[in-house]
Amino acid sequence: MYDTSKAEEAAKKADQLPTPVGPYVLVAIPEIQEKTAGGIYRPDDLKTREGTATIFGLVVTMGPDAYQDESRFPNGPRCEPGSWVMFRSYSGTRFKYDGAEYRLMFDDSIEAVVNDPAKFERV
């Protein structure tokens, strides 16, 4: 369902993107695949809705205060730059740069780390 290659490419532009401040994490969002596993093309409005409500992303960079509060994160950071992460639908501030979508979100918005988001599907 997700095309992770574009998010990985977008993450390489980190020096051109906004720098997170405080406890924020910058996440690159993968594109929704054009076809289903069965070969059926997804309508553009469906791809847009699924992209807006996506729950996966690639951590590009983190603000200097991300995961520094030991009372909230006693085990240390939940993720690091280069990690594929899971978060709630619609979380973070959404924006596009050079055709790729990003989200700027609080460090506590990250709920899980995943190895390969291409194998998951939002329900």
CATH number of 51's domain: 2.30.33.40
70-79: per-residue pLDDT in tens?
A: 999 999 999 9
Enclosing domain of residue 83? 2-119
Q: How far apart are the first and last CA of the chain?
A: 12
Which tens digit of pLDDT belongs to each residue from 45-104? 554 555 555 789 999 999 999 999 999 999 999 999 999 999 998 899 999 998 889 999
Tally the domains of the chain: 1
Which of these ranges, 29-33, 94-98, 105-109, 115-119, has the smallest mean pLDDT?
A: 29-33
Three-state helix/strand/coil letters over the chain: CEEHHHHHHHHCCHHHCCCCCCCEEEEECCEECCECCCCCECCHHHHHHHHHCCCEEEEEEECCCCCCCCCCCCCCCCCCCCCEEEECCCCCEEEEECCEEEEEEEHHHEEEEECCHHHCCCC
Could you give the CA distance from residue 73 to residue 75 in angstroms, rounded to a whole number? 5
Longest Cα separation, the chain: 48
Q: What pLDDT is attached to residue 65?
A: 97
pTM of the model: 0.81
